[in-house]
Structure 1
């Protein structure tokens, strides 16, 4: 899989841009603030409908414009697909494939797969749980595009359930007995959707664990015993060290309902939904110690890179299903390697880690690199080079 063409209209700093890309390494070189990251951000957005830099879409639209358009041509095996996304401020984004009618943006998920390394990835190790949850969910959606709808529905249910809990808290504060019958309805819906998300995340983490351990050793050239584990308050304490992927959706739904019943008083008192995948975390340990707070800067970088390399191998898939048949895609064996994006990563690494990472990613079908100076691009990834100046991209 690779992107052969990228076209932008009013996206970030670009009024317009057209770039012809090649399989193999492609390097965008230019001083900081010239728009290199904007190019690869647009490609990543087509794959995930999200940015690695901002939480909402408004900053993606060029100042003064009403909408932005990102168009890519994605080549997979013998097939080429043109994907166009229209990002409009204050409205639902729309998409079209192969010049068809505009439809839901979510309909393009799965056509392009990317794995993006960026300086922001340090937050996967050092930051809060929401970034690690997002990492898992974006990977799940690339493997199973229909999961995006379940996750969006779950977020809506949690918001509505939390609003009801706040209302019930107000009733209790006023000395009135709250009517919990409506809450039970939302409990059921939250458990139904949340259990699916828990099952997907758990299966994914189970598949990723050995890949993360291997990738960490490869990047750091050290046996750091890097481990990841999915931690959920839904699971009973005596099951915390057991593989949660062994539990089915029905069992997870039952456990969620039990937890919500047990914590109902606390939820009403705080006016918040305290049970479910929106409260979970991916724990990272190195040598048996939490990576957050104990890992050095170099070790943290190696761990973040290991997570992304594991994601790359999972998305490529080869001829084997990921986590049994949970995420099985019949097209996995057909030029399925995702596009690998390295956004200003090499400047952050020491010489040896830079060389190791370049060696590990070189076999990818397509690698997109951004760098402030040519010297930051390892020789192995020189490939095709583009010079980036404000508002312009030209092939060197």
Structure 2
């Protein structure tokens, strides 16, 4: 195996899986089985091999299999460019998640330096028509894939903003209490904005350079209130307004991602459901293509129930693009017929569930 791919994945007491082990090669993997069998739980486990709380954003205690609630563990062997890493992440009951890379304790941000993982799940289908928070999170995941330190900047900014908001709610007016906090916010905000703009530029270039069956999206970073060049002065000037609101009303936490279906010049929120899905897939594929250049290998892709929302032509086009990219993609669906167009280009696993216990079995499908 070369590039970026998992060669082994093991789950212990994770969600509906008491024990599951998968031996893998670098090809895409189609995971099929009935609804509720535990397919998404497998790709959720893989998403936890990247920084953050995974594709469901669940707390550590929520990931443990019921009724045992003994805690959970995920282990994996990762080929990352020219190195092989042993990954372990787990949480004991009532304790936070922990991580070891090659037998040594490590912060989650360290995962971003050795792996790139992107995902598309059904809950994202309403991305363009719901609130800005989801779009901002989507952009930040893409940004993190290019710049692993982006998470640190966001955490620094959010921590400083919480401190400022506490001062505002307590009606503290002494400017000396605000100066250092706002300076920290501005430094982090500058990095966050630069990182996000870089990600948008990377996505735009990757879309423009590709011939694809999926539509191109024109992306713009927008704000509830325009972000001023001198954010430090603006935060100072807006303290009274923010005090009345009880929170900070200016900064990158108020950003939004605007998307336009380029060929039709229609905002994504006004597109059909199928067009909105196609735009999402286009952006995930663009992100993957850009990362193949930036990181040196395409990312691991997690595509939950993606085939069910595409007609046969677009489904075949998606599989062709994934295979051409050389990405190890984990795709879920209710039956093997959804992956017919992949043939021997993929590996297969069937997931079944009996009395709340999931089982995974490799399948040989021609």
TM-score of the aligned structures, taking structure 2 as reference length? 0.88
| Residue number in structure 1 paired with 2:188 | 193
Describe the SS at the equivalent of 1:85. strand
Cα deviation for residue 70 of structure 1 reads 1.1
Of residues 204, 213, 219, the one that matches 1:219 is 213
Cα deviation for residue 307 of structure 1 reads 1.4
The answer to whether 1:8 aligns with 2:11 is yes
Deviations 1:174-220, CA, capped at 9 Å, x for gaps:
xxxx32321222211111111111111111112212434666x7234
Distance 2:343 2:54 in 1: 24
Structure 2 counterparts to residues 1-396 of structure 1, below 5 A: 1-63=4-66, 64-88=68-92, 90-100=94-104, 102-168=105-171, 178-212=173-207, 218-220=212-214, 226-232=217-223, 233-236=225-228, 255-286=230-261, 287-292=264-269, 294-317=270-293, 332-333=295-296, 336-363=297-324, 364-380=326-342, 383-390=346-353, 391-396=358-363
Cα deviation for residue 289 of structure 1 reads 3.3
| Residue number in structure 2 paired with 1:244 | none
The answer as to whether partners of 2:37 and 2:351 remain within 8 angstroms in 1 is yes
Describe the SS at the equivalent of 2:227. coil
TM-score of the aligned structures, taking structure 1 as reference length? 0.82
Distance 1:304 1:57 in 2: 28
The answer as to whether partners of 2:11 and 2:20 remain within 8 angstroms in 1 is yes
Residues 197, 260 of structure 1: CA spacing in aligned structure 2 closer, same or farther, 3 A cutoff? same
Cα deviation for residue 65 of structure 1 reads 1.7
Distance 2:339 2:196 in 1: 34
Residues 310, 124 of structure 1: CA spacing in aligned structure 2 closer, same or farther, 3 A cutoff? farther
Deviations 1:344-374, CA, capped at 9 Å, x for gaps:
1101112222122122112223222211111
Cα deviation for residue 145 of structure 1 reads 2.2
Distance 1:355 1:263 in 2: 53
Cα deviation for residue 381 of structure 1 reads 5.3
> Structure 2: 5+ residue runs without aligned partners?
none
The answer as to whether partners of 2:144 and 2:150 remain within 8 angstroms in 1 is yes
Deviations 1:237-292, CA, capped at 9 Å, x for gaps:
xxxxxxxxxxxxxxx5xx22132133222101001011111110111112333211
Cα deviation for residue 76 of structure 1 reads 2.6
The answer as to whether partners of 2:73 and 2:89 remain within 8 angstroms in 1 is yes
Distance 2:126 2:268 in 1: 11
The answer as to whether partners of 1:358 and 1:380 remain within 8 angstroms in 2 is yes
Residues 290, 214 of structure 1: CA spacing in aligned structure 2 closer, same or farther, 3 A cutoff? farther
Deviations 1:315-339, CA, capped at 9 Å, x for gaps:
212xxx5xxxxxxxxxx33xx2111
Describe the SS at the equivalent of 1:218. coil
Cα deviation for residue 96 of structure 1 reads 0.8
